[in-house]
Amino acid sequence: MNDKTMTFSLGGEQEQEMRRVLTLVYDALQEKGYNPISQLVGYVLSEDPTYITTHNNARSLIRKLDRDEILQTLMKNYLMD
């Protein structure tokens, strides 16, 4: 039995790209009149791309991000700030 804890880490450059993409997606959702936070939470929980608008290529952009990496980065930033 392996009882070692796995570690997960992203580089600073990856986090900057994630922030850029999430900001673009947030803006696109807001421009279309959606509640961006609710839509992003729906996407992260379900990985259903229909939560994200196609406006400004937002759906294609967010699908390039790994859902686990999004969650890890959000948790880190929430708990560290």
Q: Is residue 5 part of a domain?
A: no
Residue 11 above 70 pLDDT? no
**The pTM is what?**
0.81
13 vs 39, higher pLDDT: 39
Q: Is residue 4 part of a domain?
A: no
**Residue 47 falls in which region: left (phi positive, over 0), alpha (psi -120 to 50) or beta:** left
Those residues whose C-beta lies under 8 Å from the C-beta of residue 15, and which sit 6 or more positions away, are 73
Q: Is residue 46 part of a domain?
A: yes
Give residue 60's domain range: 12-80
Q: Quote the CA–CA distance of 14 and 63 in Å, as a whole number.
A: 15
Domain count, the chain: 1
Q: Is residue 3 part of a domain?
A: no
Q: How many helices (H) and strands (E) are present in the chain, helices listed first?
A: 4, 0
2 vs 76, higher pLDDT: 76
